[in-house]
Structure 1
């Protein structure tokens, strides 16, 4: 019963010789396959093994391989299974399995169950009636799905607890096609609290004078039931002005699945799609297209610019700071403005390391959108308007808009907007034509302003078109205010709340506005773009003009981009007071990979040169890349030169992406100044199991719970891993859509086994959903075992743990056993037939665990014959009979 005590056995372990091995890898793989051959799988026809083809080690006796011939036998009972229809997950259901016999228990179905997973039971019922066949009802039936759904096939994987249904496409509910998940399976998540933070510390010294500033953005969310309470805030600190705190939005929101809508209570802004976006405190009820089978996502523009040094970039919308970050010298792009609303221009302020600052405006208007016939979208907002800083203005506001698809050609829309001193009505339509999508609307407004009453009307025409054959994608949005008396809701509220404004005559009254966005793909010759806006006022001379045109391409391994930006009379300060300054900037960017290969971590050389009629010529060169195999540590070194200021600057940046936070540092030195900065971004999630940290979290989050699975990678995110307490985060899940989150066990300890590596879920928006991955802690052991006479054990003999009775492995080639055991010592039974002579025992003792285990424990053993059970005592009762 004891392991072999041949020479070389470790002291203190007389029954075992433990080895670490790498040369056994091919054999181990084969043994693992054998050990798991009967663990589970799809239901299939039985198979027969020819035992004559197997090498047997004990005489000529036959080996019992019957357990491999009928895999996946299910016992009667109720199981919670993941249901897949035609390869797509449809939900996790509690299903009954009934019946007995050679095939095992079979799943039971009702009409409601099949309807819930996307099968059109009405169509099946009509076909059954025509053929006088049986149909499903409320009483579960367990005699095969194909009897009720023609052509259906069923496979159940007992090990993965997965029921796969294959159904002819004709019988699928068209409303459940694509990526749609039935609302009954939307997961509202668990109770949790999370806090996202972004901090930026910035100090500069110019001519011996030091200035420092700091910025902290906080976003807190409390999830309880179906509700989410959110608060945003921004704190800033300056060595000159001290500390200030700007309170952001505070609201509670929940979704209404039956209405496909979101209900929000608190501080937010109106829709902004057709009327001005107005900040208010109150109630907003709006349809949420993400809940629909063919949802359309909102649009947020990408902010592009070029910084001369390590610069702070601040983004404002309607006077509120919505984003701030630090960028390295050279071109930058900001693509994560998730907090921006549907509309309202973005003012971008760039503060260079030497203190110089400049601003520009990014137009933000939504494009034409059409609806299918019979589809309706709406938004209703009512409450009290708020001024800058979320202070109440005292004015009541109401806005309601509705869109409905009248036909394949026409979508109609309209709306009302009111305040205490303002009213407006809008009506319009969108057309889908072969020439493109058109929309047009008219708005009539009346306002009671400090300078008197006024009224007017506004007419708007929009056009968008995608030309796939030519690679052109453009939209042209034109707003024309036909009368000088027209005023928008936001302007009317601002004039009532701004006592320093003399009256309506001081308002810059917009007459015409033209926005254009054009992108042209030139195939192998690169691409071009043209973005711009032009504004004219009734009471202001000239035009406000802002446009940029650019060309991007590559020549061999060299990528280059040429752009021209023209700015004239941009809005700055006050209410539409035009700045008559003009600027023209021409920029050339080059990027050249250094070294060979296509690794993302390879160094990259880049340069840019720009010329401005205001600031002269600026140029810079930089080398950037990533260090380490994981690519988490990124660096950049740059040098820049400004001709007008006659200054040179050297800069360096480091960014590290850890699983718990992103951190970075920057330094630069130039003529007469020095600059240094620190930044950090991360998230804290508190839940019933403790606190979990993450470098980034989206709106909707998956909380992974996998006990003992430390270092398992979550999904495709290289920076997200399971922590030491068994928790990890899937940072960005798509709400109301099927999400499959997989764990990669490659970096886990070898004594931990994932019993399930994949989970599917359809979360509600903003939810924190719990994803459970069962694990088993069992030490992997490779045992070289022999009979007492030195003979080998039969190939395929099954191995059982005597303490638990579980099957833990099988005998492979060369009389080797790969098994997983939970205890450091115990006994296993090797069995290859029903007789006592066809089994033996092995006792094992493993060295104590010392932290994380990587690799197999390797043992030599002798399998001793199992002793015969003692005969019953004289006079003892016969089994099954009472004395």
Structure 2
């Protein structure tokens, strides 16, 4: 969300205009001076005070962005993108009013600049290891620097050519990734359910738990669940437990403990051991997914535009000669890229770069890998203590090709996989073969092969998207890793090779078709499977259509399902088929922008269960639509039974809570549920919504009630709050909305940038100042108005408090209930006066507003003395 300024309690116009005066003048000076010292001019006539008015000295506003010499920590932005916080050396050069930033090659490299290219620029100097001070354009052609001293921000604008890689999005250099603070965390998801069905009462409680501890860059995690019922008491089921950390140098995650292997090339298997897996989130966003390199040649300084499905997705200017666009980010499952080159003389030419993608395609020169070693654990198919070793590797070999392979071993089992993916004019293909050898108890040695071919293509002209067409064929002797481990751990009386339901051939399809602009969308997804050992073939599919007319949405679907989960069906026995037809209609009961509820009608006809129709009304309520509700009524034709239900939920700052009731023929049900997160840290314990993988702990002392992030969560009474989800390794901006904080609390920063490491709990501190807001209607001793724009200083320390606004009014914040301020509009002793103030007593309560005083500004003698008593108190 954008930085949010605090709207004040109802205040007069003078309050608003006066409070903005200093900021307006300083902002104008800042934009007038790129780094420091260049003069901005303010016409004194624009601040004419009328007859008898006093002119003011505006010279202090004309020297913008002056920085003291020394080391300063600044937020650095390159071409508008935050690149981290750096300590920048400032030195005072001859002829400068303020200190100048210094740069070295290592700093610019961290910021993403290609210093070698910059050094080859015409007449440019090469940066050495020692810091060089002065204009950055001396070292990087065309570079510009802008300093915001008040915000402690330094903005660099650099031609794209001199960046190592133009990375769209919010990529941050690894040196600026934040490991977070030490903290303990807990997610819970609890439910209490009770039902009374034909005189039989059932009560059951459940709590799903996800606990962890963060220490430095290491994350300890444990998953489990607890259940309770009156007849059986309480029990706990243990899930995965592991210790995890990232390895930035390898762009990988290291895990020690219990988890599961990746399932894209081999079967996914649960294990206890060690795993090292590449993490593409650490890469610039342009390298995370496959997009072809656009290559061409320009005869002049040309504009290159890239379109996908008629939308402009990229545009740049290139120099004469060959060019390659490697940082392109296109959308979805592909769609050919239309490239247009417009030369300096206006001539143009176009060509097409084919683009379709599969999960295996990678950018040229990028790699993905995984390596797992340990013992297989409970797989849901019997326990095992067999060792497990599995590794996979993928490599982008060129603009169109990716190669991949892998190895998998366990006791009495081995397999090897090799494959390739290619992007062609007619779509993206991936093909691989897996060879296996398994020594099975009572079955001997089985060897076999499995062949897989997949295809993906988006046809933008027709609106057709083949997101997945895949076929796999396995020979009769092929055994997968998961099957082998399960058979090794199965008792002999239950072990039969044919019972595994081994697949002979499988075809999967996922196709969607857009029917014009307003014609809706048709989709088809399904699978056809053939089995060995005489097991019946299966065909499962779903066909549907959806569309929208004005605010009314509707859909139609057909599903065909076959359930072969019984042992008899494994041996070619019975078949349990069903066909489901569904209709859905959704109508808003009012204007959507007003939070109107929605009427939903759902009809289903099942070949086994009969027809069912449900009508419901659902909507949101409360502040920021925090609450949800729904009421529904259903009728089942087969049993000729009616039922009704009602559900309600509310998103508290500390948790989500809900309740539901239902009643039908012969039964009643009721449930209560709650979910959320708990974060224990050095400042105490903070409750929140369910915690994501990576979170921010926000601290703003005394700012109770301030809203943070997008979800409407607020700071608690100690000034702590949680942003429950951040994107790791990317720039995240976390803002505070100060509208609901106490009036005597000033938030001195409302936005923070952070690039957390995965799993981190990052601490974001926002400085605050407890000071009472005061509006003074000030006059000089002779009753004349104070000079417009005059500076207001704290007499105790010369700290600026504000400026005189329109109508001779002063808006300021003071930390003491009694004190003196100096009003100064020039360098001479006759160009200043003093105001002594005494504020009325007040208790610390929220929303007390500001204090209004009418006071006299008394002349100050040459010795700096002042009036002995304050002017009269007017009103609060």
Structure 2 length-normalised TM: 0.85
Distance apart, 1:28 and its partner CA: 1.9
The answer to whether structure 1 residue 765 and structure 2 residue 765 are counterparts is no
- Give a deviation string over 1:747-770, Cα, whole Å, max 9, x none: 222222222222111111111112
The answer to whether structure 1 residue 618 and structure 2 residue 612 are counterparts is yes
Q: Distance in 2 between matches of 1:388 and 1:441?
A: 26
Q: Name structure 1 gaps, 5 residues minimum.
A: 1-20, 300-365, 872-883
- Give a deviation string over 1:406-432, Cα, whole Å, max 9, x none: 222221111111111211111111111
Alignment match of 1:36 (pick from 9, 23, 42): 23
- Give a deviation string over 1:34-78, Cα, whole Å, max 9, x none: 132455644354222232343437945432121112222211121
The answer to whether structure 1 residue 628 and structure 2 residue 622 are counterparts is yes
The answer to whether structure 1 residue 487 and structure 2 residue 479 are counterparts is yes
The answer to whether structure 1 residue 661 and structure 2 residue 655 are counterparts is yes
Answer whether contact 1:441 1:461 (CA < 8 A) is retained.
Answer: yes
- Give a deviation string over 1:655-697, Cα, whole Å, max 9, x none: 1001110110000111111000111110001111111111122
SS in 1 for 2:19: helix
- In the TM superposition, 1:766-805 aligns within 5 A as 766-805=759-798
Distance apart, 1:385 and its partner CA: 0.6
- In the TM superposition, 1:297-308 aligns within 5 A as none
Answer whether contact 1:526 1:551 (CA < 8 A) is retained.
Answer: yes
Query: Residue 434 of structure 1 corresponds to which residue in structure 2?
Result: 425
Query: Residue 419 of structure 1 corresponds to which residue in structure 2?
Result: 410
SS in 2 for 1:33: helix
The answer to whether structure 1 residue 469 and structure 2 residue 456 are counterparts is no
The answer to whether structure 1 residue 195 and structure 2 residue 182 are counterparts is no
Q: Aligned pair in 2 of structure 1 residues 536, 770: CA closer, same or farther (>3 Å)?
A: same
Answer whether contact 1:652 1:667 (CA < 8 A) is retained.
Answer: yes
Q: Distance in 2 between matches of 1:401 and 1:708?
A: 52
Query: Residue 589 of structure 1 corresponds to which residue in structure 2?
Result: 584
Q: Distance in 2 between matches of 1:521 and 1:103?
A: 64
Alignment match of 1:246 (pick from 223, 233, 237): 237
The answer to whether structure 1 residue 88 and structure 2 residue 81 are counterparts is yes
Q: Distance in 2 between matches of 1:579 and 1:489?
A: 28
Distance apart, 1:567 and its partner CA: 0.5
Q: Distance in 2 between matches of 1:271 and 1:576?
A: 27
- Give a deviation string over 1:568-611, Cα, whole Å, max 9, x none: 23435899678621111111111111123533x21111111111
The answer to whether structure 1 residue 139 and structure 2 residue 133 are counterparts is no
Q: Distance in 2 between matches of 1:641 and 1:70?
A: 77
Distance apart, 1:803 and its partner CA: 2.4
Answer whether contact 1:57 1:793 (CA < 8 A) is retained.
Answer: no
Q: Name structure 2 gaps, 5 residues minimum.
A: 1-7, 291-356, 866-876
Answer whether contact 1:564 1:584 (CA < 8 A) is retained.
Answer: yes
Q: Which deviates more, 290-299 or 163-172?
A: 290-299
Distance apart, 1:621 and its partner CA: 0.8
The answer to whether structure 1 residue 501 and structure 2 residue 494 are counterparts is yes
The answer to whether structure 1 residue 97 and structure 2 residue 84 are counterparts is no
Q: Aligned pair in 2 of structure 1 residues 572, 759: CA closer, same or farther (>3 Å)?
A: farther
Alignment match of 1:368 (pick from 351, 359, 362): 359
Q: Distance in 1 between matches of 2:798 and 2:570?
A: 81
- Give a deviation string over 1:129-161, Cα, whole Å, max 9, x none: xx3x43211221222212222211111111110
Answer whether contact 2:499 2:567 (CA < 8 A) is retained.
Answer: no
SS in 1 for 2:414: strand
Query: Residue 396 of structure 1 corresponds to which residue in structure 2?
Result: 387
Answer whether contact 2:498 2:532 (CA < 8 A) is retained.
Answer: no
The answer to whether structure 1 residue 571 and structure 2 residue 571 are counterparts is no
Q: Which deviates more, 752-761 or 252-261?
A: 752-761
CA RMSD of aligned residues (A): 2.4
Between Structure 1 and Structure 2, how many residues are aligned? 781
The answer to whether structure 1 residue 742 and structure 2 residue 729 are counterparts is no
Answer whether contact 1:649 1:671 (CA < 8 A) is retained.
Answer: yes
Answer whether contact 2:382 2:486 (CA < 8 A) is retained.
Answer: no
The answer to whether structure 1 residue 225 and structure 2 residue 212 are counterparts is no
- Give a deviation string over 1:332-379, Cα, whole Å, max 9, x none: xxxxxxxxxxxxxxxxxxxxxxxxxxxxxxxxxx95320123222111
Answer whether contact 2:535 2:570 (CA < 8 A) is retained.
Answer: no
Query: Residue 275 of structure 1 corresponds to which residue in structure 2?
Result: 266
Query: Residue 443 of structure 1 corresponds to which residue in structure 2?
Result: 434
Q: Aligned pair in 2 of structure 1 residues 467, 64: CA closer, same or farther (>3 Å)?
A: same
Answer whether contact 1:380 1:399 (CA < 8 A) is retained.
Answer: yes
Alignment match of 2:671 (pick from 647, 666, 677): 677
Query: Residue 25 of structure 1 corresponds to which residue in structure 2?
Result: 12
Distance apart, 1:835 and its partner CA: 2.5
Query: Residue 73 of structure 1 corresponds to which residue in structure 2?
Result: 66
Q: Distance in 1 between matches of 2:539 and 2:128?
A: 68
Q: Distance in 1 between matches of 2:75 and 2:191?
A: 45
Query: Residue 214 of structure 1 corresponds to which residue in structure 2?
Result: 205
Q: Distance in 1 between matches of 2:527 and 2:857?
A: 85
Answer whether contact 2:599 2:615 (CA < 8 A) is retained.
Answer: yes
Query: Residue 158 of structure 1 corresponds to which residue in structure 2?
Result: 149
The answer to whether structure 1 residue 63 and structure 2 residue 56 are counterparts is yes
Query: Residue 397 of structure 2 corresponds to which residue in structure 1?
Result: 406
Q: Distance in 1 between matches of 2:285 and 2:753?
A: 20
The answer to whether structure 1 residue 829 and structure 2 residue 816 are counterparts is no
The answer to whether structure 1 residue 706 and structure 2 residue 700 are counterparts is yes
Q: Which deviates more, 288-297 or 395-404?
A: 288-297
Query: Residue 722 of structure 1 corresponds to which residue in structure 2?
Result: 715
SS in 2 for 1:122: helix
Q: Distance in 1 between matches of 2:570 and 2:261?
A: 22
Q: Aligned pair in 2 of structure 1 residues 699, 23: CA closer, same or farther (>3 Å)?
A: closer
Answer whether contact 1:58 1:794 (CA < 8 A) is retained.
Answer: no
Q: Aligned pair in 2 of structure 1 residues 103, 65: CA closer, same or farther (>3 Å)?
A: same
- Give a deviation string over 1:844-870, Cα, whole Å, max 9, x none: 222324222353221111222224429
Answer whether contact 1:368 1:438 (CA < 8 A) is retained.
Answer: no
SS in 2 for 1:869: coil
Q: Aligned pair in 2 of structure 1 residues 849, 826: CA closer, same or farther (>3 Å)?
A: farther
Answer whether contact 2:834 2:859 (CA < 8 A) is retained.
Answer: yes
Q: Distance in 1 between matches of 2:779 and 2:69?
A: 39
Query: Residue 529 of structure 1 corresponds to which residue in structure 2?
Result: 523
SS in 1 for 2:120: helix
Query: Residue 171 of structure 1 corresponds to which residue in structure 2?
Result: 162
Distance apart, 1:811 and its partner CA: 0.9
Q: Aligned pair in 2 of structure 1 residues 390, 39: CA closer, same or farther (>3 Å)?
A: farther
Answer whether contact 1:706 1:726 (CA < 8 A) is retained.
Answer: yes
SS in 2 for 1:63: coil
Distance apart, 1:196 and its partner CA: 0.5
Q: Aligned pair in 2 of structure 1 residues 555, 515: CA closer, same or farther (>3 Å)?
A: same
Q: Which deviates more, 206-215 or 783-792?
A: 783-792
- Give a deviation string over 1:512-571, Cα, whole Å, max 9, x none: 112211222233122121121222211244222221111111223221111111102343
Structure 1 length-normalised TM: 0.85
Q: Distance in 2 between matches of 1:514 and 1:207?
A: 46
Answer whether contact 1:571 1:579 (CA < 8 A) is retained.
Answer: no
- Give a deviation string over 1:604-653, Cα, whole Å, max 9, x none: 11111111111111111111111223211111111111111221111111
Query: Residue 324 of structure 2 corresponds to which residue in structure 1?
Result: none
